[in-house]
Copies of this chain bind each other. A is one copy, B any other.
Amino acid sequence: MPRASTTTDVFNAIAEPRRRQIINALAGGRAHAVGELVTRLRVSQPAMSKHLGVLRKVGIVSVSRHGRRRLYRLNAGELKPHQLNRIKQQAERKASERPADEGRPAKDTPKT
């Protein structure tokens, strides 16, 4: 069985690198139209729409209509980009500290 549905799960939503890019692009707090994001991130328009759809469904962003545009904004207070960066960087640091981490053998077999 592959991963849990991307549309139901925040973690799956932010597992996609492009979506994290989008989150970063929205980090300023300003609302952005789909077209702006398409240009800034060099993603095709359909792809962008799909990613934004996923982010919206899990509650990371919200939309508002303004004329023919749809403005997406990060949901303030939730899932700040810097939190994501922290998580990533912390784990990556750990991973590189212990290159292929195996631990050494031991005679001390814990009870159980």
Contacts and interface: CB of A to CB of B under 8 A. Distances in A.
Given A4-B16, A59-B92, A69-B109, A83 B87 contact: yes
Report the contact-size class of chain A (Cβ under 8 Å from the partner): 35 or more
B65 A105 contact: yes
A95 B57 contact: yes
Interface in A59-104: 59-60, 62-67, 69-71, 75, 77-79, 83-84, 87-88, 90-98, 101-104
B110 A71 contact: yes
B4 A11 contact: no
Interface in A19-53: 20, 31, 33, 36
For the complex of A and B, 3 pairs with smallest distance between CB atoms: A59-B95, A64-B103, A59-B94
Most buried by B among A63, A66, A91, A98: A91
